[in-house]
Structure 1
Amino acid sequence: MNRKNYIINQYVKEKLKLIKIILIIMAVFILYCMIETARELRDFRLTKYRICSPKLNGIRGTKKIIFLSDLHNRMYGKENERLLESIKNQHPDLILIGGDMLVRKDGNSYDRTVRFLEKLPAICPVYCANGNHEQKLKELPDKYEQSYEGYKKALTACGIHMLENASETVRLDEAPVRISGLEIPLRAYARFGKKDLPLKEITDRIGEHGEEYQILLAHHPGYIQEYLEYGADLILSGHYHGGVMQLPGIGGVISPDFTLFPKYSGGIYREGAQTVVVSRGLGTHSVPVRLWNWPELIVLELSGTSEEM
């Protein structure tokens, strides 16, 4: 073998060795991702946020609010006993539900979810807004076998307050708090491209923002700027499931409407005096994948103006 052929053969061997190493690394990484995804789909984590406002100075000490979103019929233990126990252990003053607790598609009964939700009013007052899954059941009843009216009837019968483009005011000690549930037009949930959502369309649905501290349950976080313009003090959203995968310093990778690296994918965002909290959700649907993106039960600790933790 002449020197030229020897050099070529050595070069090929080195390249093949490098390719082999790369393939092994890729296989190990894929296996790790599969194991991590399976691990994250089995459990949830508790996420706490502290929120202070001078409008809440009537609160003596701190009030706890549980925020649930995007359960999608997921069960943590028999009849969701682990999730229920975690909620009870927080001793909340209010429970707020941000929608998509069920799956609208045929063959996905919401019965077990209803049985779980029916137990919540025994803990504290519960206020519930709809996500796109409930809203589609309601507005397109002939398309699905499940009944939105049956779902709503079961929840209201056990004492859950349904906020369908409606608001109710509660008092946390001496602080009045207005809780509003917003249902945006179904067109706004279309994939590939954001639709217009004029401010007037929001105010037509839930009225003007007033002087009270207002918590806005608005499921779709793609319209956070519009909700901020509306003026709500605390905006609670979900829908994006944390962007499937959470990258450090970047956030979620992709939203259900195929927006890459959505700005509000999961976490807390402070916008001047306003606060936005986007839940990474408690369940999944269609594509059961999570990576570095644990399902979460959110606890909001509200108080008057003070040094934030």
Structure 2
Amino acid sequence: MLIFILCILGLIFIAENVRELRTFRVKTYRITSHKLNGIKNRKIVFLSDLHNCSYGKRNGRLLAAVRKERPDLILIGGDMLVRRNGSSYADTLRFVSRLTSIAPVYYANGNHEQKLKEETGRYDQSYAAYKKSLTEAGVIFLENEAVLWRPDNVRIRISGLEIPLSSYEKLGKRGLSVRQIEDRIGRADPSFQILLAHNPAYVRQYEEWGAELILCGHLHGGLVGIPGVGGVISPDFRLFPAYSAGIYREPKADVVVSRGLGTHSVPIRFLNPAELVVLELHGFNEL
């Protein structure tokens, strides 16, 4: 009987895993701040961790879902490709290029893009060619850079942060100071601060820097989700990471961690659906 029950549970796990690897959901969060007073019905789509996965021919289902949301802005949080010899980012390149027909697109790198850029001799893929093609399509890369977005005359600063690659190493979290963040993207100004920071392991430092909306990915939701607990494991093999998926209302910032849209080394999703994140911006004067 025990063996029979384990077999049934195993079949359920496999079936659900296959389903979750082939589908995604749209997850919407409301972001409110007094600094957003005056803003009117503004919406951001946040994409992260696609890892060359495709939903439908040429990612048609995902593109249609983004278009349906009618966003004012599209933010990309990194790891849209896979840094692995023998893999192709052609489909991802085509998909991201088509996003610019929907809304302005700002792209911050994850560790996969960053490694391609900084360790050029290790991979047969070219980050320079990837960036060049997307830039020509109208995508704006934020590589330790910031832009000012002024919807309805509200000042919103969007920064893309690249942390040291050592901060992604497995089996040992490396330190990251606020000074290191400032050395990369400068100090926060009085604008509403959106920070694209791929790795959620350093939320406290991002918040101390001055971020008011922190957008992360990287953990793929912890592979397996436990209701009421969160994700099980992070890519650096830490169990039950503090920020695995969803929205966290911290004292000075809202932290949104995407479950991502794809997988790479470990193709597992269980109670952890891939997701397209939608952010609705509101001021207190709307309440």
Q: Aligned partners of 2:20, 2:90: CA distance in 1, in Å? A: 24
**Native 8 Å contact 2:207 2:252 kept in 1:** no
What residue in structure 2 maps to residue 96 of structure 1? 75
Deviation at 1:46, TM superposition (A): 0.5
Q: Aligned partners of 1:305, 1:193: CA distance in 2, in Å? A: 41
Deviation at 1:307, TM superposition (A): 7.2
Q: Aligned partners of 2:283, 2:137: CA distance in 1, in Å? A: 32
Matched, 1:109 2:78: no
**What SS class does the counterpart of residue 222 from structure 1 fall into?**
helix
**What SS class does the counterpart of residue 81 from structure 2 fall into?**
coil
**Matching residue's letter, 1:214:** Q
**Matching residue's letter, 1:34:** I
* 1:225 equivalent among 204, 209, 223: 204
What residue in structure 2 maps to residue 172 of structure 1? 151
Deviation at 1:302, TM superposition (A): 0.4
Deviation at 1:273, TM superposition (A): 3.6
**What SS class does the counterpart of residue 65 from structure 1 fall into?**
strand
Moved over 3 A (4+): none
Q: Aligned partners of 2:102, 2:54: CA distance in 1, in Å? A: 19
What residue in structure 2 maps to residue 207 of structure 1? 186
**Matching residue's letter, 1:230:** W
Deviation at 1:58, TM superposition (A): 2.5
Matched, 1:41 2:36: no
Deviation string 1:54-109 (CA, Å, 9 cap, x unpaired) is: 1011312x211000000000000000000000000000000000000000001111
* 1:55 equivalent among 20, 35, 38: 35
The gaps in structure 1 that reach 5 residues or longer are 1-20
Deviation at 1:270, TM superposition (A): 0.5
Q: Aligned partners of 1:88, 1:171: CA distance in 2, in Å? A: 22
Alignment of 1:136-147 (within 5 A): 136-147=115-126
Identity of aligned residues (%): 57
Matched, 1:185 2:164: yes
TM-score, with structure 1 as normaliser: 0.92
**What SS class does the counterpart of residue 284 from structure 2 fall into?**
coil
What residue in structure 2 maps to residue 5 of structure 1? none
* 2:66 equivalent among 69, 87, 98: 87
What residue in structure 2 maps to residue 77 of structure 1? 56
Moved more, 265-274 or 144-153: 265-274
Q: Aligned partners of 2:255, 2:285: CA distance in 1, in Å? A: 19
Task: Tell me how large the CA RMSD over aligned residues is.
Answer: 0.9
TM-score, with structure 2 as normaliser: 0.98
**Native 8 Å contact 1:58 1:172 kept in 2:** no
Deviation at 1:272, TM superposition (A): 1.7
Matched, 1:29 2:17: no
Q: How many residues align?
A: 287
**What SS class does the counterpart of residue 150 from structure 2 fall into?**
strand
**Matching residue's letter, 2:250:** E
Deviation string 1:105-146 (CA, Å, 9 cap, x unpaired) is: 011111110011111111111100000000000000000000
The gaps in structure 2 that reach 5 residues or longer are none
Q: Aligned partners of 1:216, 1:41: CA distance in 2, in Å? A: 28
**What SS class does the counterpart of residue 119 from structure 1 fall into?**
helix
Q: Aligned partners of 1:102, 1:306: CA distance in 2, in Å? A: 40
What residue in structure 2 maps to residue 279 of structure 1? 258
Deviation string 1:250-275 (CA, Å, 9 cap, x unpaired) is: 00000000010001000000112410
CA separation of 1:68 and 1:194: change in aligned 2, threshold 3 A: same
**Matching residue's letter, 1:153:** K
Moved more, 299-308 or 149-158: 299-308
Deviation string 1:189-239 (CA, Å, 9 cap, x unpaired) is: 000121110110000000001100011000001111111111101000000
**What SS class does the counterpart of residue 82 from structure 1 fall into?**
helix
**Native 8 Å contact 2:172 2:236 kept in 1:** yes
Matched, 1:159 2:159: no
